[in-house]
Amino acid sequence: MQIEVYDKENKLVCKLTDDMALLGSYPIDDGMRMHVVDNFLIQHALGDTASVEKFTLSEEEYSKKSGQVEFAAGWWIGIKYDEPLGKNDGSVSGKRYFSCQPKYGGFVKPAHVTVGEFPEESTEFDEM
């Protein structure tokens, strides 16, 4: 990371290069602008996704995953959980929508879905 300091006229005053120095040791005054340049992605090539294998789904496979459910009206999303937090195994009232282990499946409204990788929640209590 690199920090650049600009004056009120947008002229470069200095670059903060010493990671151990306090901010007060640099000639920074009110009205100046600090510009942070984060080149972590460039240095570690995390932004290059060309070499990453992409998930593909044929049109036929995709169409198998959409349609109405019989247990309730409206749009529902079938979820396969990483942990046994669900209510079913991908089936409701004998109708199978997808397959997973018991208590690893569920159906939720789209407004309640957040996609991502999340760390496991700790079930241990911290000491106070």
What is the per-residue pLDDT across 44-103, written as a single tens digit (0 to 9) for each? 666 667 777 888 878 777 666 667 788 999 888 888 888 899 999 999 999 998 889 999
Count the Cβ atoms, other than its own, within 10 Å of residue 9: 5
Look at residue 69 in the predicted model and tell me its pLDDT: 87
Fold entry, domain 66-112: SH3 type barrels. (2.30.30)
106 pLDDT above the threshold of 70: yes
Domain ranges of the chain: 2-44, 66-112
Residues in the chain: 128
Look at residue 1 in the predicted model and tell me its pLDDT: 74
Instruction: Give the percent of the chain with pLDDT over 70.
Output: 83
Instruction: Check: pTM over 0.75? Answer yes or no.
Output: no
